[in-house]
């Protein structure tokens, strides 16, 4: 397949999902609604609050969604002049272009290390990676996070060491943090990585630049302290710790009834506390629960990583196409058993699609293993390509789904291409 035909088909693939959203039944998931509320409240109230301000106030909504994506939505709303149609047209158009550009950067790297790669195979990879075009056409920040993550890898692989290279990487880490709290630990890991890399001769200017994300993380947490009374980067970390990490672990260990009771008891005990006291109490008790059930939690954490790698994305597909959805699979697999639930899901017209994607995900994992074992590339190159996926997957935890792998699709594509043929680098 020639280059021109490849990009035409790939653009049409994105375009079909774009047309569906803009002209036929625009789909919004719960997270989308929160981002839209955050944007509207920034415009109307001048505050970053990710829910309806006419409802009872909850300080969690002040910090649950970091500011960057709501700010992008504010820009699109401003440019659209109040037109809902134009707003969605603009935001989805930009996100589709961002998706295509990230794929372009991926193929630029592939051209350097394997210029004879098959575009037909690449296209098949992307057609099976349906979450790429789904999230390019949703009010969600995943496609922006993907661009930031792969931008970091692109700079590390393709650019010579310089002040500007590490400045751009620092800015991309900051942008990633401003999109999703998941990159916050990376702010502290980045300087450590540079110290290890330049251990024989420390590059002090590079190291100074690498501290910028730490300054941002601390400053943003202090701003949140002024807004809520608690120095926290985002309330979503506490929410996930209570309602997902701890709850899923307890459900798997004791069943739904006891899990509900223990979680409800934690919430009841926070009544009358200040917001800071409430957050600290929840975090301390959840960490104690996890510590007391460490072996069970470790198993569920590893299983979550596997889910992120192999999940065919039932939730993504059903929500995007407004298909029947039977609830949260994360909870259901802990209630009714994994295999019985999966078999039930596959016994419907959508099942063949999900099964096909699942088989593709198994094949994708095989190519990752082959890339790791391949002797045609140096370990530094392998580490750079695998560093971000390893980091993201390691933080996935028990709530792993296809959404967590979605920002990693360009990394998976690059590994897929390079696993077929390589040359010494």
SS3 101: helix
How many other β-carbons are positioned within 10 Å of the β-carbon of residue 35?
21
Residue carrying structure tokens 């889910």: 307
Q: Which residues lie closer than 8 Å to 420 by C-beta, 6 or more apart?
A: 114, 117, 118, 121
Task: With beta carbons less than 8 A apart as the criterion, state whether 133 and 316 touch.
Answer: no
DSSP-assigned letters across all residues of 196-247? HHTTTS--HHHHHHHTHHHHHHHHHHHHHHHHHSS--S-THHHHHIIIIIIH
Q: Cα(304)–Cα(397) distance, rounded to whole angstroms?
A: 5
Give the chain's length: 425
Tokens representing 284?
Answer: 């301390």
Break the chain into its structural domains and give their ranges: 159-230
Q: What is the pLDDT of residue 129?
A: 96
Q: How far apart are CA 106 and CA 95, in angstroms?
A: 17
What was the pLDDT predicted at 339?
A: 61
Q: How far is CA 126 from CA 27, 28, 382, in A?
A: 22, 23, 22
Say if residues 418 and 121 touch (Cβ distance below 8 Å): no
CA angle 187, 413, 406 (to 5 degrees): 55
Helix-helix angle 184-197:163-179, to 10 degrees: 160
Specify the 3-state DSSP secondary structure of 65.
Answer: coil
3-state DSSP helix/strand/coil % of the chain, to nearest 5: 75, 0, 25
Rounded to 5 degrees, what angle do the CA atoms 265, 271, 273 make? Answer: 125
Sequential pLDDT tens for the chain (425 residues): 899 999 999 999 999 999 999 999 899 999 999 999 999 999 999 999 999 999 999 999 999 999 999 999 999 999 999 899 999 999 999 999 999 999 999 999 999 999 989 999 999 999 999 999 999 999 999 999 999 999 999 999 999 999 999 999 999 999 999 999 999 999 999 999 999 989 888 889 999 999 999 999 999 999 999 999 999 999 999 999 999 999 999 998 898 999 999 999 999 999 999 999 999 999 999 999 999 999 999 999 999 999 999 999 888 999 999 887 655 555 455 555 556 666 665 656 688 888 899 999 999 999 999 999 998 899 999 999 999 999 999 998 888 888 899 999 999 999 999 998 755 44
Residue 163: partners with Cβ closer than 8 Å, 6 or more residues away: 205, 206, 209
How far is it, in rounded angstroms, from Cα 61 to Cα 320? 25
* Lookup: tokens for 290: 């996890």
Note the maximum CA span of the chain. 66
What DSSP character marks residue 293? Answer: T
CB neighbours of 305 closer than 8 A, spacing ≥ 6? 393, 394, 396, 400
CA distances from 180 to 63, 258, 271, 404 (A): 11, 32, 29, 12
Contacts of 78 (CB under 8 A, 6+ apart): 43
- The pLDDT value recorded for residue 400 is 81
Closest CA to 354 of 131, 120, 32: 131
CB 423 within 8 A of CB 113: yes
Distance from C-alpha of 14 to C-alpha of 99, rounded to nearest angstrom: 9
What are the distances in angstroms from CA 112 to CA 100, 157, 368, 419, 425? Answer: 19, 10, 19, 14, 10
What three-state secondary structure class fits 349? Answer: coil
Q: How far apart are CA 299 and CA 97, in angstroms?
A: 39
Q: What are phi and psi of 304, to 5 degrees?
A: -65, -40
> Could you give the count of Cα atoms lying within 13 Å of 186 in the half-sphere of its Cβ?
25
* The predicted structure's pLDDT at residue 424: 45
């Amino acid at each position: 397949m020639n280059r021109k035909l490849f990009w035409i088909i790939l653009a049409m693939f994105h375009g079909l999902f774009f047309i569906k959203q803009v002209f036929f039944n625009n789909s919004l998931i719960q997270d989308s609604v929160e981002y839209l509320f955050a944007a509207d409240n920034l415009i109307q109230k001048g505050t970053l609050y990710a829910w309806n301000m006419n409802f009872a106030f909850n300080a969690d909504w002040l910090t649950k969604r970091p500011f960057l994506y709501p700010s992008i939505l504010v820009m699109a709303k401003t440019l659209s002049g109040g037109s809902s149609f134009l707003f969605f047209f603009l935001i989805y158009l930009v996100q589709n272009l961002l998706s295509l550009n990230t794929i372009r950067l991926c193929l630029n790297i592939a051209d350097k290390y394997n210029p004879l790669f098959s575009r037909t195979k690449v296209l098949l990879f992307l057609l099976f990676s349906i979450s790429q075009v789904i999230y390019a056409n949703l009010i969600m920040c995943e496609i922006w996070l993907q661009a930031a993550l792969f931008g970091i890898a692109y700079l590390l692989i393709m650019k010579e060491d310089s002040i500007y290279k590490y400045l751009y990487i620092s800015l991309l880490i900051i942008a990633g943090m401003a999109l999703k709290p998941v990159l916050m630990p990376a702010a502290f890991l980045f300087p450590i990585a540079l110290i290890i890399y330049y251990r024989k001769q420390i590059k002090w200017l590079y190291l100074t630049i690498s501290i910028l994300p730490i300054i941002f993380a601390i400053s943003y947490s202090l701003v949140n302290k002024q807004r809520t009374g608690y120095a926290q980067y985002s309330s979503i970390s506490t929410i996930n710790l209570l309602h997902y990490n701890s709850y899923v672990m307890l459900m798997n260990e004791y069943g739904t009834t006891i899990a509900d009771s223990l979680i409800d008891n934690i919430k009841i005990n926070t009544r009358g506390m200040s917001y800071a006291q409430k957050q600290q109490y929840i975090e301390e008790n959840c960490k104690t629960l996890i510590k007391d059930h460490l072996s069970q939690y470790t198993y569920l954490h590893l299983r979550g990583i596997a889910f992120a790698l192999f999940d065919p994305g039932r939730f993504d597909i059903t929500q995007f196409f407004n298909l029947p959805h039977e609830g949260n699979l994360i909870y259901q697999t802990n209630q009714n058993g994994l295999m019985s639930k999966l078999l039930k899901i596959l016994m419907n017209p959508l099942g063949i699609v999900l099964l096909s994607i699942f088989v593709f995900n198994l094949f994708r994992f095989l190519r990752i293993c082959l890339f790791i074992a391949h002797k045609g590339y140096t370990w530094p190159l392998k580490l750079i390509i695998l560093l971000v996926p390893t980091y993201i997957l390691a933080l996935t935890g028990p709530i792993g789904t296809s959404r967590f792998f979605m920002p990693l699709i360009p990394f998976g594509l690059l590994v897929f291409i390079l696993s077929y043929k390589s040359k010494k680098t």
